[in-house]
């Protein structure tokens, strides 16, 4: 048993090193759209999910802007199963949620992370029509309401994921090419933490903090110069717990976790 401990430690560290933070698209708060990235429809005919490549690691964040009503019903939450809820993924891909129980409270931004490495068992090139099986909980309704996204939305909507062969290059929808490095210290912190950002360009960026349910608890515009920048976040008014923050501009954003512990 003792001989297995170093191996388990290496596996755990490797898993942590390759894990990705699920990045919520906070623009849905302003636009009111239900899903991000945007869906394929007959008007745009755009494939907005990252392309996948056989034998290459894949990551894609999907944000659900959970509505507060469904028809005449007041919603409590939208839930997906922690396994098996996303249909027609390429072999080798799976998903996780933030929060991990995949229960997204009405009025919040839920986040789903598609990740993994497509195996050689797939046939490429190919296009996968992905759907997300959800269940809605509503006030006064003693049963869950199943809704499959995006198939049951009005119109002809699809989430198409294009799979290419092992020679292709994967896009980086979640990575902000304007940001080179982000960290905050101390972390965990009591009241204040200093965020260090290496920006590749000068300009205005949106800084936002969200709780684990995807509710925005802080937002402001910050000015970054090309190079290393530092600014302070005051979390003294927030409860203890885990949060995440995003820094981005029109090119995209990056996300990191922070923890308040007193």
Q: What's the rounded Cα separation, in Å, for the pair 95 and 62? A: 10
Distance from C-alpha of 218 to C-alpha of 60, rounded to nearest angstrom: 25
Q: What is the pLDDT along the chain (262 residues), one digit of tens a residue?
A: 444 433 333 333 333 334 467 889 888 988 899 999 989 887 877 888 888 888 888 889 999 999 999 989 999 999 999 999 999 999 999 999 999 999 999 999 999 999 998 998 998 888 899 999 999 999 999 999 999 999 888 888 899 998 888 766 443 334 445 787 788 888 889 999 999 988 888 999 999 998 877 788 999 999 999 888 999 999 999 999 888 888 888 777 777 888 898 8
If you search the block for the tokens 């708060």, which residue do you land on? Answer: 29
Structure tokens of 132?
Answer: 């997300």
User: Can you give the pLDDT at residue 253?
Assistant: 76
Scored b (16 or more CB within 10 A) or e, 199-232 reads beeeeebbbbbbbebbeeebeeeeebeeeebeee
Model pLDDT, residue 20: 61
Q: Which domains does the chain have, with CATH numbers?
A: 20-164 (2.60.40), 179-260 (2.60.40.10)
pLDDT of residue 177: 59
Q: Say what the pLDDT of residue 162 is.
A: 87
Can you give the pLDDT at residue 138?
Answer: 96
């Amino acid at each position: 048993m003792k001989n297995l401990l170093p191996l388990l430690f290496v596996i755990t560290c490797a898993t942590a090193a390759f894990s990705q933070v699920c990045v919520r698209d906070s623009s849905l708060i302003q636009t009111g759209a239900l899903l991000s990235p945007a869906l394929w429809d007959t008007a745009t005919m755009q494939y907005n999910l990252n392309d996948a490549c056989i034998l290459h690691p894949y990551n894609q964040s999907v944000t659900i802007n959970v509505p507060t009503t469904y028809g005449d019903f007041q919603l409590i939450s939208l839930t997906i199963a922690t396994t098996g809820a996303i249909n027609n993924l390429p072999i080798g891909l799976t998903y996780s949620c933030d929060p991990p129980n995949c229960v997204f409270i009405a009025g919040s931004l839920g986040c789903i992370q598609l990740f993994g490495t497509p195996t050689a068992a797939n046939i490429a090139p190919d296009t996968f029509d992905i759907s997300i099986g959800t269940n809605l909980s509503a006030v006064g309704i003693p049963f869950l309401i199943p809704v499959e996204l995006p198939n049951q939305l009005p119109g002809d909507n699809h989430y198409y994921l294009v799979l290419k062969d092992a020679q292709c290059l994967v896009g980086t929808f979640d990575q902000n090419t304007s940001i080179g490095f982000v960290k905050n210290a101390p972390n965990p912190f009591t009241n204040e933490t200093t965020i260090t950002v290496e920006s590749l360009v000068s300009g205005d960026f949106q800084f936002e903090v969200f709780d684990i349910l995807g509710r925005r608890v802080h937002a402001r515009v910050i000015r970054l110069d090309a190079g290393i920048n530092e600014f302070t976040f005051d979390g003294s008014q927030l409860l203890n717990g885990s949060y995440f923050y995003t820094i981005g501009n029109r090119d995209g954003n990056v996300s990191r976790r922070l923890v308040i512990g007193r």
